Amino acid sequence: MISLKSLSEILFNEQNCIQYLLEKNIIKRVERCSKCNIETRFYQRYFICRDRNCQKSISVFDQTFFSKSNIKCCDVLLIGYLWINKLKYQRIKDMTDHVENTLVKYIYTFRRLAVNSLSGNDFILGGDHVIVEIDESKFKDLWVLGMIERSTKKCFFKVVNDREKETLTRIIKEHVRKGSTIYTDSWRGYQDLEHHGYRHLKVVHARASRRLQIMRIHTNHIERTWRTLKAFIPMEKRCLPIINEYLHEFIWRRKQRNNLWNEFLNLLTTQ
């Protein structure tokens, strides 16, 4: 993750931030005047026609994510930077001096853009010779089914009404490709997965054998992911429908974990 220090000249200076957004192509240059087709020049926050008889100007933020913003673009990026680093609202408020309503508005928008950027393929795991670990966990009053590809750490989560065989099998068939190798615990809801095109191996936690450990047949990755996910989702958000937004945000973060800052910037072009 890129450091705050390396971005300080951008996140705390409006003009530097505008130039950065132009260089990153987050906001587009207006090369020619829409009125007379003469080249424009850039000055402060405007593209201005070079023709002295015209001098039509257009805001650098016109038709961009920032066009309706009531705070500086550098402040928007600062809030975004602190959000992708998973700071709590109070910490972000203390560091930016913005009121809570402003923070809620922008962070909600960032989350919505992140979730909407996910495609159907982001919710499909596995494939030939791919190991998918599957498990369920309780989030306050809700059961969540989770799955993770061992090799890539790609993950998916879904709230389930129950943990019965019919429910779990249906969801697994929807989100795990046939031919995958599935590792689960011995919960009865996972029975007969091998009859649906999967190679299925079970772990009995109470008496995990030395042989299973040597063969690396375990569900440690999904169990560790539960701990990370529960630390990520506040207790007051563990209810429908809002928990789904946090589950999908977590999927987006996991997908973009190696380039999170640049992928956040890309979200601002898909308003």
Range 10-28 average pLDDT: 95
Q: Would the pLDDT of 213 be above 90?
A: no
What pLDDT, on the 0 to 100 scale, is given for residue 271? Answer: 62
The arrangement of strands across the sheet holding 131-139 comes to 155-160, 142-149, 131-139, 181-185, 199-203
High-pLDDT (> 70) share of the chain, %: 95
| Dihedral (CA of 179, 125, 258, 87) sign | negative
Distance CA 237, CA 217 (A): 33
DSSP per-residue letters across 74-103: HHHHHHHHHHHTT--HHHHHHHH---HHHH
The yes-or-no verdict on residue 210 having pLDDT over 60 is no
Lookup: tokens for 138 = 């309780």
pLDDT category at 185 given cuts 50, 70, 90 is very high
pLDDT (tens digit, 9 = 90+) per residue, 223-260?
999 999 999 999 999 999 999 999 999 999 999 999 99
The tens digit of pLDDT for each residue in 53-81 reads 888 889 999 999 999 899 999 999 999 99
Mean local confidence (pLDDT), 25-38: 87
Q: State the average pLDDT for the chain.
A: 92
Nearest-angstrom CA–CA distance, 266 and 271: 10
Q: What is the mean pLDDT of residues 80-109?
A: 96
Identify the residue with better confidence: 142 or 2. Answer: 142
Indicate if the pLDDT at residue 207 is higher than 70: no
CB 143 within 8 A of CB 136: yes
Q: What percent of the chain has pLDDT over 90?
A: 81
The verdict on pTM exceeding 0.85 is yes
When pLDDT is cut at 50, 70 and 90, the band that residue 34 belongs to is confident
pLDDT at site 33: 77
